[in-house]
Chain A
């Protein structure tokens, strides 16, 4: 079975610190990769996605992610976090079909 691993369960950063959240998946074929975010009290929403082409993708609010095929990774980054980035972040993989596999999520707390 496919799996998605998010090794950071809870991250606490001060404002202006740099962020990198890890995401690794287990599937050897073609994949579509996603990062979703859930702000407190809000719905899950798409942050960014990768289908093909440039492995460095940019999303909303200054986030970006890099697909490294050889490492089966799709890490999320932001150079300088803000208090408003406090949220739950989910990595997801879609591979060969209709199913999406989500990681367990990373809770990010940004301290002003």
Chain B
């Protein structure tokens, strides 16, 4: 079946512009995660959605970052007034449920964001 998809695969933007990154999770997966992977770094947790519950936003690095998930499916990560330090690969993952990591996360291919 179809896996997690992300778009765009690459995004180059000028400093100060806003960007939107999209994630389509696997159908039926109630949990959705966003991560950021910078060069030489591990995956940094950003935000987590589970069903209709309030998202866990504790990983968002600043108020320029926000995310939403419409209808319990597609999610959009928005970065406002991008800075060069925002350059990274943004990964999305989904799973059947998010309770205490009980289910395997399936990762998308990522969006490589470059801020010039």
Residues of chain A having any CB pair with chain B under 8 Å: 4, 6, 32, 34, 36, 43-46, 49, 51, 90, 92, 94, 96-105
Contact = CB atoms under 8 A, between A and B. Distances in A.
> A45, A98, A103, A105 — which one has the most chain B CB atoms within 10 A of its CB?
A98
Given A43-B3, A49-B104, A103 B42 contact: yes
B110 to A, nearest CB: 8
B101 A4 contact: no
A99 B59 contact: yes
Interface in B1-60: 3-4, 31, 33, 35, 40-45, 48, 50, 56, 58-59
> A51, A90, A99, A101 — which one has the most chain B CB atoms within 10 A of its CB?
A99
A104 B40 contact: yes
Nearest to A4: B42
Q: How large is the interface on B (under 10, 10 to 19, 20 to 34, 35 or more residues)?
A: 20 to 34
A101 B56 CA distance: 14
Given A43-B3, A44-B107, A98 B48 contact: yes
Contacts of B110: 43
A9 B50 CA distance: 33
B100 interface: yes
Interface string B53-76: 000101100000000000000000
Minimum-distance CB pairs A-B, first 10:
A94-B101, A102-B43, A102-B42, A44-B107, A32-B101, A104-B42, A98-B48, A43-B107, A46-B104, A99-B45
Contact of A44 (B50, B91, B98): B91
A90 B44 CA distance: 12
Nearest to A31: B101
> B4, B31, B107 — which one has the most chain A CB atoms within 10 A of its CB?
B107
B43 A90 contact: yes
Interface in B61-109: 91, 93, 98, 100-102, 104-109
Contacts of B43: 90, 92, 100, 102
A90 B35 CA distance: 14
